[in-house]
Amino acid sequence: NNHKSDSRGALIVLEGLDRSGKTSQSSRLLSYLEGLGHSVESWRFPDRNTGVGQMISSYLANESQLDDHTIHLLFSANRWEKRSLMETKLRSGTTLIVDRYSFSGVAFSSAKGLDIEWCKAPEIGLLAPDLVLYLDIPPEKAAERGGYGGERYEQLEFQRKVAHSYQILRDGSWKTVNAWLPFDDVEKQLREMVLDSVTTCQKGKSLSKLWS
Ligand code: FDM
């Protein structure tokens, strides 16, 4: 059964430190693609609406304590519980703009000192993104933007470690954008990259799995 020529939506992931602009850029990209007549949805991980998501949310708010391995697996489970819906959407032609994915999972947990290969293992078999956009910003610049909430990981010292983990994780397929440029410039660059990926997937590209 050869699905190679089947048209589908693109799986587009935005990654970056807290305050790098992922969430604002995601919503801009959503309106942009909608405006062009594409079927598109904006997703985010953690998805705090599920049972697992609520456990994650209370952990992040420091309302509960969990072992580092345990919370790592919950973040992963939170992606697994959305995996089949994700595939259905993509195959039906809907593009997904996803704010954080497995790379956040590995970057944040390995920044705490967990072994990187151990962190990747539970992500194996999830859908691989067609495009990973990395919003690159020095941790100090991100912190200067203010607006860190009171959540667990929103501290400069920890964000520095996360930035280092992202550097180890990044491979040649990621598209990096300087996220400390003016918002509109970043948006313009992202638009081009996203449109390119949407077009490729429309023409037909097989879905692949992590971790490749
Ligand atoms: N985070 C996010 C993780 O530690 N692991 C994950 O797998 C994901 C998806 O959760 F600090 C962290 C990153 C961030 C926090 O993310 C909540 P948002 O984007 O602020 O909701």
Give yes or no for residue 45 CB within 6 A of ligand 1.
Answer: yes
Give yes or no for residue 18 CB within 6 A of ligand 1.
Answer: yes
**By three-state DSSP, how is residue 176 classified?**
strand
Q: How far apart are CA 135 and CA 182, in angstroms?
A: 12
Domains of the chain (ranges, CATH numbers): 2-202 (3.40.50.300)
How is residue 29 written in tokens? 């990209």
Q: What is the pLDDT of residues 121-171, one digit of tens each?
A: 999 999 999 999 999 999 999 999 988 888 999 999 999 999 999 999 999
Going by the DSSP 8-state scheme, the letter that residue 42 receives in this structure is: E
For ligand 1, atom 20, the nearest C-alpha belongs to 18
> Which of 104, 145, 154 has the most ligand 1 atoms within 8 A of CB, as the residue to mutate?
104
Asked if 143 and 19 count as a contact pair (C-beta separation under 8 A), the reply is yes
What is the full DSSP assignment across 1-26? Answer: ---TT-----EEEEEESTTSSHHHHH
**Tokens 């919370």 identify what position?**
71
Overall pTM surpassing 0.90 (yes/no): yes
Give yes or no for residue 105 CB within 6 A of ligand 1.
Answer: yes
Going by the DSSP 8-state scheme, the letter that residue 129 receives in this structure is: P
